[in-house]
Amino acid sequence: MAKEAAKVMRGEPKLTERPGGMRATDGAHRSTVTLTDNSSGRSYEFPLQQATVGPPVFDIRKLYNETGMFTFDPAFMSTASCESKITYIDGEEGILLYRGYPIEDLAERSSFLEVAYLLLHGELPSKAEFTDFNTKITRHTMIHEQLTQLFRGFRRDAHPMAVLVGVVGAMSAFYPGESAGAAHASARLSNIHRLIAKIPTIAAMAFKYSVGQPFMYPRNDLSFAGNFLHMVFAVPAEEYKVNPVLERALDDIFILHADHEQNASTSTVRLAGSSGANPFACIAAGIACLWGPAHGGANEAVLNMLEEIGNKKRIPEFIARAKDKDDPFRLMGFGHRVYKNFDPRAQVLRKRAHEVLDELGMRGEPLLELAQELERIALEDEYFVERKLYPNVDFYSGIILRAMGFPSSMFTALFAVARSVGWCAQWAEMIADPLQKIGRPRQLYTGSAKRPYVPITARED
């Protein structure tokens, strides 16, 4: 209430919910926003675009033409770069919706491939539609045998994300005839199926290559998550049985990471795709962006932080450092840039983390004990609770993946396996938008003004 009152005091439109969308009201309905230039006294009207849920946006596409000015919004913190029907986030309330469905419901009752269909097509599939989609993905999991030769060009200690960027980008050379953004919708969908199906195979091969083990080819009789576990952990000399508890936890990790609105990597995919670039190249660009420790690498950073702390006796020292504003140390895996409340994905994975630790009998493993003690402190310490610095999805996914046996270098690669679905859905939505133009952010130039060139012989030393 206080926040809404503050908006009214600032003269901002009050947001009220209505069937089919939101409207801006300030005593009366308004469909435009007035911008006044105080230096000249001129006023300009801009349309107010309504959202289904969430705040409306000022449509400033004609801002430069009408005013001769740009907006300045570093990191696009207050700018909607596109219109989308795929994912909605309310960070204040801790809400994440895929096509309108709460993430908690999907993680509890659905499967990753069903969620993939939902993100791509906008609706949950019928039984027949799901069977057809599952078959198409399953039969695309093999990769061209020549692609396997690319792995030999990487060092054995190459990061799996470096391998993913290279091999996924190289797929554009294997499907060049159907790759252009202007291709027929059916051709685009075929490439989406290829990407969703083959990226897990490539990620698993990247792991196998790093440890010197033979590649394990995909199996059509296993689930999406079960097949990935088999490709990563099975060896030819032994029979590998997929643990259903681990399979369920991994499937949930994939669901929870499938899409997350216009984050850095998704925006990268859209920006690359706006030029009409090959879709495999666009996804490779998204993988490269995801690799950053501030984005997809956060769960890997959690494990690195736990190893730095070392044991539970040192926790108070690092907690004190985290509270010291002059200390650069940060507790990785706590709080979230978008969620100002509990990360809804973390609530799901917290349950799965405890199930996995119990299933594997790993409650006493030192690093995981350390993680659980940090979790306890974050949920009880007044400093963290007041600031809502709760454990986020990266914290719990790191614990789960570590317990399963994945090295921390593979964490971001698993993130890419899941997010490939969201990237493909966002790319397809962008390509189908008739108003889409090539992305071209503007800038606030603060360099030198025009100046004359001075020959090197005339310049002072």
The predicted structure's pLDDT at residue 183: 61
Residues 282-315: pLDDT tens digits?
Answer: 999 999 999 988 788 777 888 889 889 988 889 9
**DSSP 8-state assignment for residue 2:** H
Q: Which of 127-136, 286-295, 379-388 has the lowest mean pLDDT?
A: 379-388
Q: Which of 20-34, 112-126, 437-451 has the lowest mean pLDDT?
A: 20-34
The predicted structure's pLDDT at residue 30: 58
pLDDT over threshold 90, residue 208 = yes
pLDDT over threshold 60, residue 14 = no
The band of 181, judged by pLDDT with boundaries at 50, 70 and 90, is low
Catalytic annotation present for 336: yes
Catalytic residue among 251, 252, 343, 394: 394
Read off the pLDDT of each residue in 252-270 and give the average, rounded to a whole number. 96
pLDDT over threshold 70, residue 255 = yes
* Percent of the chain predicted with pLDDT > 90: 57
**Who has greater pLDDT, 118 or 57?**
118
What gap in Å lies between CA 388 and CA 399, rounded to an integer?
21
The predicted structure's pLDDT at residue 229: 98
Angle at alpha carbon of residue 392, lines to 252 and 224, rounded to 5°: 15
Q: Give the C-alpha distances (Å, rounded to integers) separating 323 from 179, 315, 329.
A: 50, 12, 9
Residues 67-102: pLDDT tens digits?
Answer: 989 899 898 888 998 999 999 999 888 899 999 999
Phi, psi of 49 (to 5 degrees): -85, 135
pLDDT over threshold 70, residue 20 = no
Q: Are 43 and 52 in contact (CB under 8 A)?
A: no
The predicted structure's pLDDT at residue 380: 85
Q: Mean pLDDT for the chain? A: 87
Q: Are 334 and 323 in contact (CB under 8 A)?
A: no
> 3-state DSSP call for residue 52?
coil
Q: Are 282 and 184 in contact (CB under 8 A)?
A: no
Q: pTM of this prediction?
A: 0.86
Catalytic residue among 251, 257, 336, 343: 336
**Who has greater pLDDT, 5 or 57?**
57
**Who has greater pLDDT, 337 or 246?**
246
The predicted structure's pLDDT at residue 12: 38
The predicted structure's pLDDT at residue 339: 77
The predicted structure's pLDDT at residue 217: 95
Phi, psi of 16 (to 5 degrees): -125, 140
Which amino acid is located at 281 in the chain? A
**Who has greater pLDDT, 394 or 192?**
192
